[in-house]
Structure 1
Amino acid sequence: MNQIANSFLSSISDILFYPVLIALLLSLVWIVYQTGVSLREAWQRSRNQFLWAEEKLNALEKKASTAKEKDIELEKIIQTSEKQAASRLNQTRFSIRSGPTLGLMGTLIPMAEALLGLSKGNLPALASNSSTAFSTTVLGLAIGLIAYTLTVVRERWIRSDLQTITFRAEELLRNIK
C-alpha cells in the first residue's frame, strides 16, 4: 500500500513540475514588467509629476465646483482612490508569496528525482536535478524580494498621494461652508 501511495504522489509531483516552471517564469516576466512600471513612476516623481494623484485632485476640484452634494461626491472620490491604490499594491503583493512558493515547489520536485538518482548511483541525474532545484529556489526568492521591495516603495508613494488627496478634499469642503 505504501508503494502505491508513493507512486501516486510521485506521479502528481511530476505532473506539476512543468506548470510550476511555467508559472515561475511568468512570475519573473510579471515582476520585471512591474519593476519597469515602478521605475517609470519613480522617474516621473523625481520630476514632480504625480500623474495618478493629479488626476484625483483634478476630479476633486471639478466636483467641488459643480456637484450639489459636494461632501458626498468628494468622499466618493477619496474612497475610489483608496480602492484603486489597494489594487495597485495587489499587483506586486501576490508575488511576494507566490514567487518563493513556486521556487520551493520547483526545488522539491526535482530533489525527489535527484535523491532517486543518488540511490541508484546515477551522479549525472543527481547533478542535473540538483542544479534545476537550486536554480528555481534562487529565482523564486529573487521574485519575492523584488516584489516586496516594489510593494514597500509603492505603499509609501500611495500613502503620500492619498494624504494629499484627503487634505485637498478637506480644504475644498472647508471653503464651501
Structure 2
Amino acid sequence: MYSTRSSKILFFHITIISLFSFSIVKPIQAEPYGMAGCGLGSMVPVWKNDIGQVLAATTNVSFSSQTFGITSGTSNCTNDGIVKQKMAQEVFIAYNEGPLELETTKGSGERIRAMASLLGCPTHANELGKLMKEKHSYLFAKSNLENEFRSKEILVRLKSQIALDDSLKYICKN
C-alpha cells in the first residue's frame, strides 16, 4: 500500500500537526453562569446572552434541574456558599410541595429524607418524618400566598416545630 518513504512522510506530518495542536491549546476555564443561575440551562455555552439566559431559566424550571443540581452539587451548582442553604430549602419546598405534603401524611419518603439533608440532619429523617406527620395540618395549612411565599411560610413553620422538638432542635441546625 504505502511505501516506506510515504509512511515516514505521513508520520512526520501527523507528528508536526499534533505538536502544533498541543502548543496552541488554552487551558479550559469555567465561565461564570448568568442570571439564570446553575442547572442544566447553565451548561449550554451559547446561552450567555440575554435571550440565552431566558432559555436557560426555562430549561432549569422545566426539568427541575436547578433544584436537583443544588441538592446534589451538580450542573454548575455548588454547596460552598454560592447558593445559600435557606434558599436551597425554599426552592426544594417550592418545587416539591405537593409530593412532600403527600409524603408528610405517611411520615416517610424520599422528599422527607432530602428535606432532612437540607436541614442538616440526614441521619434523623425518620424523626423528622414523624414530626412532620404529627404537624401536617399546621405545616401545610392552606393560604392564598403565591408559591414563592408559600414555600417560605412552610419552611418557617417547619423550623418553628423543629425548634420546639426536644430531640431535633439540637440536631437540625439549618
Q: Give the TM-score normalised by structure 2.
A: 0.26
Q: Give the TM-score normalised by structure 1.
A: 0.26
Flag the structure with more relative contact order, 1 or 2, with Cα contacts below 8 A and sequence separation at least 6.
1
Question: By percentage of residues, which structure has more helix?
Answer: 1
